[in-house]
Amino acid sequence: MSSLERGELMPELLRIENIKQHFYSGGGIFRKGYTIHAVDGVSFSVKQGETLGLVGESGCGKSTLGRSILKLFEPTAGKIFFEGRDITHLSVKEMRSLRQEMQIIFQDPTESLNSRHTVGMIIEEPFIIHGIGKPVERKLWVKELLIKVGLPESAAERYPHEFSGGQRQRIGIARAVALKPKLIICDESVSALDVSVQAQILNLLLELQQEMKLALIFIAHDLSVVKHISDRVAVMYLGKIVELGNALEVYNSPRHPYTQALLSAIPIADPRKRNTNRIMLKGELPSPINPPKGCHFHTRCPYATDKCKEDKPLLVAKVGDHADACHYPLTNQSKPNSVN
Contact between 37 and ligand SF4 (CB under 6 A)? no
Contact between 218 and ligand SF4 (CB under 6 A)? no
Contact between 237 and ligand SF4 (CB under 6 A)? no
User: How many C-beta atoms surround the C-beta of residue 68 within 10 A?
Assistant: 23
Contact between 304 and ligand SF4 (CB under 6 A)? yes
Residue closer to ligand SF4 (CB basis): 56 or 257: 257
Of the candidates 297, 315, 322, 323, which one interacts with ligand SF4 according to CB under 6 A? 297
Contact between 87 and ligand SF4 (CB under 6 A)? no
Residue closer to ligand SF4 (CB basis): 50 or 324: 324
Q: Is 28 helix (H, G, I), strand (E, B) or coil?
A: coil
Contact between 240 and ligand SF4 (CB under 6 A)? no
- Write out the DSSP string of 136-176: HHHHHHHHHHHHHTT--GGGGGS-GGGS-HHHHHHHHHHHH
Contact between 328 and ligand SF4 (CB under 6 A)? yes
Nearest approach in angstroms of CB 327 to ligand SF4 is 4
Contact between 257 and ligand SF4 (CB under 6 A)? yes
Measure the CA–CA gap between 59 and 56, rounded to whole angstroms.
8
Measure the CA–CA gap between 137 and 124, rounded to whole angstroms.
10
Of the candidates 37, 170, 232, 327, which one interacts with ligand SF4 according to CB under 6 A? 327
Residue closer to ligand SF4 (CB basis): 187 or 324: 324
Radius of gyration in angstroms for the set of CA atoms belonging to the chain, rounded to a whole number? 21
Of the candidates 146, 250, 301, 315, which one interacts with ligand SF4 according to CB under 6 A? 301
Residue closer to ligand SF4 (CB basis): 126 or 257: 257
63: enclosing H helix or E strand:
helix 62-69
How far is residue 304 from each of residues 258, 264, 307, 308, measured CA to CA in Å? 12, 19, 8, 6
Contact between 106 and ligand SF4 (CB under 6 A)? no
Contact between 235 and ligand SF4 (CB under 6 A)? no
User: How many C-beta atoms surround the C-beta of residue 238 within 10 A?
Assistant: 25
Handedness of CA 164, 169, 174, 175 (dihedral sign): positive
Nearest approach in angstroms of CB 225 to ligand SF4 is 24
Measure the CA–CA gap between 18 and 119, rounded to whole angstroms.
39
Q: Which residues contribute to the site for ligand SF4 (CB under 6 A)?
A: 256-257, 295, 297-298, 301, 303-304, 308, 313, 326-328
